[in-house]
């Protein structure tokens, strides 16, 4: 099963997780990380790292963030490079998470990424999709 780390500003993440649990019961391998005003990015990084390790069973972890390019997204993007089968998604909404909830159990992290971005439309993106638009800079030596 894919782990989920829901991360966002203020109580966004906790409210998303609470809404899922209210409707479907406890969500295994799922954590909420709230980025409160005044919280350092170092502390956010530690909290997200703890959540990653708590949610990971070896099948992969999906970071579900609120805003592309903001602190929770950037922090997840840094962790993405250190862990296999780790995806970073932005622009998630509760209806989208409800649709994707069952797919956690039987798809790869890459397939999950593709499906959630397709379903979410223009408001939803992933780190992978952003990197395809803006490939990394390559230094060419002569």
Residues labelled as active-site residues: 9
Cα separation, 69 vs 71, whole angstroms:
7
CB 64 within 8 Å of CB 80: no
**56: nearest Cα among 27, 89, 30:** 30
**64: nearest Cα among 21, 38, 100:** 100
Q: What are phi and psi of 4, to 5 degrees?
A: -120, 130
59 Cβ contact list (under 8 Å, min separation 6) = 1, 2, 3, 85, 109
């Amino acid at each position: 099963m894919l782990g989920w780390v829901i991360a966002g500003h203020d109580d966004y993440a906790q409210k998303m997780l609470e809404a899922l649990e209210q409707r479907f019961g406890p969500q295994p391998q799922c954590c909420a990380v709230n980025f409160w005003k005044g919280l350092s990015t170092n502390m956010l990084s530690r909290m997200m790292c703890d959540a990653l390790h708590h949610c990971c069973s070896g099948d992969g972890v999906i970071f579900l963030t609120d805003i592309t390019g903001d602190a929770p997204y950037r922090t997840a993007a840094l962790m993405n490079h250190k862990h296999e089968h780790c995806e970073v998604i932005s622009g998630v909404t509760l209806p989208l998470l409800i649709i994707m909830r069952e797919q956690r159990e039987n798809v790869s992290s890459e397939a999950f990424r593709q499906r959630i971005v397709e379903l979410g439309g223009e408001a939803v993106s992933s780190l992978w999709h952003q990197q395809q638009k803006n490939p990394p800079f390559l230094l060419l030596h002569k």
